[in-house]
Amino acid sequence: MDRHHLFPDDLIHAQQQWHDTYRALAAPRPRRTTELRRRLLRLSVRIHWHPFWTTPAGRMPAGRVELRQRTAEGRTRGAA
């Protein structure tokens, strides 16, 4: 299935921040690990409970995977 979602900007931004925070925490010698872990947890909650997931477009489980893939690759909108 080649379905592409149009995610809300705030959801995209939160997922991008999540990736950035995760990479910072996974660095060889991260600083401020407690702060980074708390931020990662806050972002995870914000993403998980975002209202988009209650809409018809957001109910597909593949949507969460697509959001992670798009933001990890640096592309956020459009069709492939």
Question: Residue 61 class from Cβ within 10 Å (0-12 exposed, 13-18 middle, 19+ buried)?
Answer: exposed
Q: pLDDT digit string (tens) for 43-74? A: 999 999 999 999 998 988 889 999 999 998 75
Q: Which residue has the tokens 């690990």?
A: 33
**Residue of 2, 26, 5 whose CA lies nearest to 71:** 5
- pTM attached to this predicted model: 0.81
